[in-house]
Amino acid sequence: MFSYLRKRFTSHIRDCSRRRARLVSKDGRCNIEFGNVEQSRFVFLIDIWTTILDLRWRYKMTIFISAFLGSWFLFGLLWYVVAYIHKDLPEFNPSINHTPCVENINGLTSAFLFSLETQVTIGYGFRCVTEQCATAIFLLIFQSILGVIINSFMCGAILAKISRSKNRAKTITFSKNAVISKRGGKLCLLIRVANLRKSLLIGSHIYGKLLKTTITPEGETIILDQVNIEFIVDAGNENLFFISPLTIYHIIDKNSPFFHMAAETILQQDFELVVFLDGTVEATSATCQVRTSYIPEEVLWGYRFAPIVSKTKEGKYRVDFQNFSKTVAVETPHCAFCLYNEKEAKAKEKKGFDNPGFVLSEVSETSDTKM
């Protein structure tokens, strides 16, 4: 038992030491931070709408509640000041013929309640503005307009936050691993993607970026250098009919960055494959982008995905997501270079080639025979 635990602990320590840094997590979040930014953080207030939308829900709700409570309390103070200046409060012992600016304001609490009733247009009818003070009438108009602006902005921000296509992207899932195997006689890198909703993504487009560290001929080291990776679906990589899981694949040819990798050396490589799916949400017509990434440990050489689509007796098509990321070992060349050499050798066997160094010489035959 002790040896088993020690083996598991050693394996866990080894895995943690080999863990690679990701730029994009499996759920699409970017693992990057900015340091020593010269511009002040107040520049984000210029685009306050985007800043509010990007905030997390706990901060957004804090701002939402603070905006309303703060405006109610601020205008409550102003109504109290108006009543205090006009000597409408009971502490001034107003006469019976005295007409207050706002009736039934007896202190700060009642001023706060009147501010709340004014801004949210409740209108209980117990407290109201009279025509005695122009200042009170102006304050009433100003608070009503400002209340509408605050209400429209905050409610619009919450509605936009709820309806963001970022939430729709969570119902698009990629396979846990990518696989490399033969497809159509070519060595390909394959990834499976599925739409968990029955509503479609219109105009979907799939592409990838290979992130790696490269050194230029001038000796410059470029971290996170991006190389385009073209993915193909049998029906084309644009305007996908994304109603059932699709298997996208990248052909590993001589122009592919995976061409010089092999089954024995892929784990020693330092790269991150980021896959993107762009599309338009059918229900809201908003565009969304789904991202995921694969590191060398998540690329399985010599495997293919298990079938997941079957047909029932009732004539319906059934998708078994239990086998969505399941892989099956298949016979696969250990490198793309070997596969292409094998094809070239077979092609040469079927063709004839002239030997330019071959010379046909004729031998003259004589009928004389020497005894």
Nearest to 115 by CA among 152, 149, 81: 81
Distance CA 355, CA 268 (A): 43
pLDDT of residue 143: 94
Range with the poorest average pLDDT among 26-40, 98-112, 242-256: 26-40
Percent of the chain surpassing pLDDT 90? 29
Question: What is the band of 270 on the pLDDT scale with cuts at 50, 70, 90?
Answer: confident
Asked whether 150 and 71 are in contact (CB, 8 A), the reply is yes
Q: Which residue has the higher pLDDT, 132 or 345?
A: 132
pLDDT tens track for 160-174:
888 777 777 788 889
pLDDT at 236 over 80: no
Mean pLDDT, residues 260-286 taken together: 87
Mean pLDDT, residues 306-324 taken together: 86
Domain ranges of the chain: 39-161, 168-348
**Angle subtended by helix axes 108-119 and 134-162, to nearest 10:** 60
Q: What is the mean pLDDT of the chain?
A: 82
| Neighbour tally for 120: CB within 10 Å | 12
pLDDT tens track for 183-201:
888 899 999 998 888 777 8
Q: Which residue has the higher pLDDT, 201 or 75?
A: 75
pLDDT of residue 300: 93
Mean pLDDT, residues 241-259 taken together: 87
Q: Which residue has the higher pLDDT, 176 or 123?
A: 176
Question: What is the band of 77 on the pLDDT scale with cuts at 50, 70, 90?
Answer: very high
pLDDT of residue 342: 64
pLDDT of residue 7: 55
pLDDT at 239 over 50: yes
Question: What is the band of 80 on the pLDDT scale with cuts at 50, 70, 90?
Answer: very high
Q: Do domains 39-161 and 168-348 have the same CATH topology?
A: no
pLDDT tens track for 320-346:
888 898 999 998 888 877 776 666 556
Query: Residue 279, exposed/middle/buried by CB under 10 A (0-12, 13-18, 19+)?
Result: buried
pTM over 0.75: no
Question: What is the band of 363 on the pLDDT scale with cuts at 50, 70, 90?
Answer: low
Per-residue HEC secondary structure of the chain comes to CHHHHHHHHHHHHHHHHHCCCCCECCCCCECCCCCCCCCCHHHHHCCHHHHHHHCCHHHHHHHHHHHHHHHHHHHHHHHHHHHHHCCCCHHHCCCCCCCCCECCCCCHHHHHHHHHHHHCCCCCCCCCECCCCHHHHHHHHHHHHHHHHHHHHHHHHHHHHHCCHHHHHHHEEECCCEEEEEECCEEEEEEEEEECCCCCEEEEEEEEEEEEEEECCCCCEEEEEEEEECCECCCCCECCCCCCCEEEEEECCCCCCCCCCECCCHHHCCEEEEEEEEEEECCCCCEEEEEEEECHHHEEECEEECCCEEECCCCCEEECHHHCCCEEECCCCCEHHHHHHHHHHHHHHHCCCCCCCCCCCCCCCCCCCCC
Nearest to 111 by CA among 133, 83, 147, 69: 83
CATH assignment of 39-161, among 1.10.3080.10, 3.40.50.300, 3.40.190.10, 1.10.287.70: 1.10.287.70
Q: Which residue has the higher pLDDT, 369 or 96?
A: 96
Range ranked top by mean pLDDT from 1-10, 39-48, 298-307: 298-307
Q: Is 168-348 CATH 3.40.50.10790?
A: no
Range with the poorest average pLDDT among 12-16, 128-132, 274-278, 338-342: 12-16
Distance CA 51, CA 44 (A): 6
Question: What is the band of 369 on the pLDDT scale with cuts at 50, 70, 90?
Answer: very low
Range with the poorest average pLDDT among 68-77, 108-117, 161-170, 236-245: 236-245
Residues 6+ apart with CB under 8 A from 37: none
